[in-house]
A and B are shown apart, each in its own frame.
Chain A
Amino acid sequence: MRFFEDDRDSAMAELLRRAYARTVDLDTAARHLWSIDSAAKAGRRSQRAHRARRVMVAVMASLMLGVTSGVAIAASSHTLPGDALYSVKRGAEHARLVLAVRPEADARVYLSIARTRWAEAQRAGEERPRVVPGLLKDTFAALDAAEARGGATAELALALRTQVAASSAELALGSNRSATEGQASGRPGEDGQDVAASPLPPSREPADDAAGSGASDPATTTGTADALASDGQDHRGGDGAPAGASPAPAPAPADAAAPPPETGPAPPPPPEREGLPPSGHPPGDAGPAHPAGEPAVTGGPEEGTGEAELAEPEPALSQPEPVTLGDPAADQASPSAPGWGRPRP
Chain B
Amino acid sequence: MGLGAPSSDGTGVGHEEKPLGDDDGQATGPFSEEVAGGVRAGDPDAVGRVYVALADRLLGYLMARVPDRASAEDLLELTFLELLQHGHTIRGGAAAIKVWLFRAAHFNALDHLRKVQRRAEDLREDVWALEVPDARRGPEDRAVADDLSRRVRQTMDLLSDEQRQVLLLRYIGGLSAPETGRVLRKSDGAVRSLQHRGERALARLLDHETDRAAPPLGDEAS
Contacts and interface: CB of A to CB of B under 8 A. Distances in A.
Interface of A: 4-10, 12-29, 31-33, 35-37, 39-41, 43, 276, 278-280, 282-283, 287-288, 298-301, 303-304, 309-317, 332-333, 335
B176 A17 contact: no
A296 to B, nearest CB: 9
A5 B176 CA distance: 11
Contacts of B91: 309-311
B30 interface: no
Contacts of A33: 48, 51
B199 A9 contact: yes
A304 B186 CA distance: 12
A304 B185 contact: yes
B158 interface: no
Contact of B20 (A17, A29, A31, A303): A17
9 contacts: A6-B177, A7-B177, A16-B172, A24-B56, A32-B55, A36-B48, A301-B107, A311-B89, A332-B85
A298 B89 contact: no
Contact of A20 (B82, B168, B199): B168
B84 interface: yes
6 tightest CB-CB pairs across the interface, nearest first?
Answer: A13-B21, A23-B2, A313-B104, A311-B89, A40-B44, A23-B12
Interface residues on B, range: 35 or more
Most B Cβ at <10 Å: residue of A16, A33, A288, A317: A16
A283 B103 CA distance: 12
A59 B160 CA distance: 54
Interface string B103-141: 110011011001100000000000000000010111011
Residue from B107, B114, B185 whose CB has the most chain A CB atoms within 10 Å? B107
Given A4-B22, A22-B59, A313-B86, A15 B152 contact: yes
B196 to A, nearest CB: 8
A35 B44 CA distance: 10
B149 A19 contact: yes
B23 A35 contact: no
Contacts of B44: 36-37, 39-41
Nearest to A15: B152
Contact of A314 (B86, B88, B167): B86
B163 to A, nearest CB: 12
A8 B21 contact: yes
A312 B86 CA distance: 9
A18 B86 CA distance: 33
A253 B3 CA distance: 55
Contacts of B137: 22-23, 25
B110 A10 contact: no
A8 B171 contact: yes
Contacts of A335: 77
B56 A310 contact: no
B7 to A, nearest CB: 10
Contact of B182 (A9, A279, A310, A316): A310
Contact of A24 (B3, B85, B171): B3
Contact of A17 (B88, B114, B172): B172
A215 to B, nearest CB: 24
B47 interface: yes
Nearest to B154: A19
B140 A279 contact: no
Given A18-B148, A29-B55, A35-B81, A13 B19 contact: yes
Nearest to B109: A315
Given A4-B23, A23-B138, A36-B51, 10 more contacts: A6-B176, A7-B177, A21-B172, A39-B44, A39-B84, A40-B42, A278-B89, A298-B114, A310-B99, A313-B104
Contact of A332 (B47, B81, B108): B81
Looking at B89, B136, B170, which has the most chain A CB atoms within 10 Å of its CB? B89
Given A13-B20, A13-B21, A15-B152, A20 B60 contact: yes
